[in-house]
Amino acid sequence: MKQEDSLRIDKAILHILDSNVQIPIISSKELELEQDILKFLEGHILKVLSNGSVKTGVFHKVDNLIYNLCKKLTSEMENFTIISAELANNLFSIMIKNPDIPPGDVIICIFEQENNKYVALMKFNYKSSYIHYVMNTDEGNVNTIIKQTTTLPNDAQKSDECIIISLSDYEIKLLEKEYEINGSKDFYLSKLFLKCDCDFSNDDKFKIINKVTQKLNKKYFDEDFKKTAKLHKAIADSMEESDEIKIDSIASEVFEGNHEIKNEYIDEIRKEGLKGDVVNIQESNLVTKKLRTHRLKTDIGIEINLPSDHYHNKEIVEFINNPDGTISILLKNITKIINK
């Protein structure tokens, strides 16, 4: 599912899951899909689909209520309101047992994209905001400020938590947060509600690869900045060909000629939980930022944000190894310096 593809909202309903009042307020009627509401829903779904923190999940299919409700939704779309209420009630029963999970409104909607149908469950956790309030008194109007504690996010903000499930193969796209469950932080949406197994998000995959590279770089090469630059270039080159990172190829390029370090690098990545020789990773905001800019920080406190495209261009920047063991950085062909 590509986030740039246009989508169409078919149905939507809002249920209020405010655990502070102990009972959910379940709507018996779908939302009227006016233009403003459509824009709001479409915007939030597209933001989720482009979010690098989204994970891909697969249901445990035995005795799984949510999986069965999704299958039921596929064949009984006319019962959308009833099925959405079952989904909301099940989620609320988990929230009420775990008070660290924040209250919020849940919007469940059916949308189409590229001729495929999906069900989205967006949980908008309440946020505080302030509004003006006019009181009518005997002496006239008195304008004051009051605090609203159940405000939904605006168009520009991101969803806190969201589930998108394909109604053809039941693949899950999941944006979730950890809260205290039975005394420890855990993901309640995947563990307790969906009961599914999740892959790492795109951002997490990149963080693992970057973390292991930095670890071995520090262990064997005294944090040679050129190794990190090689990593970024190798990943960028790999992702230009396809949305995947070939671990063996990355290791060979970063640690060229040193088979022991290369094998240790691959083993460390496996220990972090990334399996297989190829890691599928779609470009996200975090990955794009990391690959496009290489941040250098010297031991005397100077920081340089260097575009990756310029890193190996000696007409723009040159790294000089001095006889005394120090490094000089020479920036060339600068026509203007701007204070920021």
What's the average pLDDT block by block, 10 residues per block, for the chain (340 residues)? 70 93 92 92 91 92 95 95 97 95 94 94 83 78 72 66 96 95 93 94 84 84 72 70 76 81 88 79 58 74 77 81 85 82
**What global pTM score does this model have?**
0.78
Q: What is the pLDDT of residues 8-19, one digit of tens each?
A: 999 999 999 998
Residues paired with residue 130 on neighbouring β-strands, in sequence order:
147
Residue by residue, what is the 3-state secondary structure of 39-93? HHHHHHHHHHHCCCCCEEEEECCCCCHHHHHHHHHHHCHHHHHHHHHHHHHHHHH
Q: Return the pLDDT at 156.
A: 61
What lies within 8 Å, CB to CB, of 179 at 6+ separation is: 98, 100, 101, 102, 185, 186, 188
The CA distance from 278 to 46, in Å, is 27
Q: pLDDT value at position 153?
A: 61
Pairing status of strand 116-125 against strand 104-113 = antiparallel
